[in-house]
């Protein structure tokens, strides 16, 4: 008897079993698929969800649809969180203002689909306008500090020093 194991996907393995008959000539193989099931590897679901770096208010792993305000519905980032230790996986599909997250258990037998729809929120868009001003203030402050440092390092030129050296 010869057994050759191989991982198929997730927690599913294929075992190829070869058996030699008592006549010593006849040899047959059979492939058996085994899926290991545990509570952890059969679970699928998100543990958290954020959009543009902000946690989604009212998130619950049992709630599957969300509408979230963003500064720019054409440019946003949906970030799922899940228990990576169990082996579950998440795929993300973005179609304009809609993102679909499919969470699949490690054993591949359970899937949960979350849908996130984003829409323009003028309040969030206005907060982005001040970023340029803050950056400009920071640059001016750094340049002012550098100028003050250079000024403190520079000694004024004393014309009497030149005449002393010439003598």
* Closest to 61 measured CA to CA, from 47, 51, 50: 47
- 81 in the same domain as 53: yes
* Closest to 61 measured CA to CA, from 119, 97, 110: 110
Share in percent of the chain as helix, strand, coil (round to 5):
25, 40, 35
In the predicted model, what is the mean pLDDT of residues 40-53? 95
Q: How many domains does the chain have?
A: 2
Torsion 38-41-43-47 (CA) sign: positive
Q: 51 - beta bridge partners? A: 54, 78
Give me the phi and psi of 21, to 5 degrees please.
-70, 160
Asked if residue 88 is part of any domain, the answer here is: yes
Question: Among the ranges 5-14, 45-54, 146-155, which has the highest mean pLDDT value?
Answer: 45-54
Q: Name the band, by pLDDT with cuts 50, 70 and 90, for residue 78.
A: very high
pLDDT at residue 130, as a whole number: 47
Encoded tokens for 49 = 């969800």
pLDDT at residue 159, as a whole number: 60
Structural domain that includes position 15: 2-35
The pTM (predicted TM-score) of the whole model is 0.60
**pLDDT for 116 beyond 90:** yes
pLDDT at residue 7, as a whole number: 79
- 69 in the same domain as 27: no
Q: Name the band, by pLDDT with cuts 50, 70 and 90, for residue 132.
A: low
- Residue 55 · residue 62 · CB < 8 Å: no
pLDDT at residue 122, as a whole number: 87
Encoded tokens for 151 = 């000024």
Q: What CATH number corresponds to the domain at position 91?
A: 2.60.40
**pLDDT for 142 beyond 90:** no
- 12 in the same domain as 54: no
């Amino acid at each position: 008897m010869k057994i050759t194991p191989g991982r198929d996907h997730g927690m599913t393995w294929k075992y190829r079993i070869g058996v030699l008959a008592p006549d010593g000539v006849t040899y047959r193989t059979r492939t058996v698929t085994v899926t290991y099931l545990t509570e952890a590897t059969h679970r699928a679901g998100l543990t958290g969800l954020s959009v543009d770096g902000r946690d989604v208010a009212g998130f619950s792993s049992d709630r599957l649809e969300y509408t979230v305000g963003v500064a720019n519905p054409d440019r946003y980032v949906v970030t799922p969180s899940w228990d990576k230790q169990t082996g579950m996986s998440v795929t993300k599909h973005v179609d304009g203002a809609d993102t679909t997250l499919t969470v699949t258990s490690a054993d591949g037998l359970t899937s949960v689909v979350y849908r996130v729809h984003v829409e323009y929120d003028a309040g969030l868009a206005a907060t982005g306008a001040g970023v340029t001003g803050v950056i400009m203030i920071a640059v001016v402050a750094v340049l002012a500090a550098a100028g003050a440092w250079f000024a403190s390092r520079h000694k004024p030129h004393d014309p009497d020093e030149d005449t002393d050296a010439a003598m």
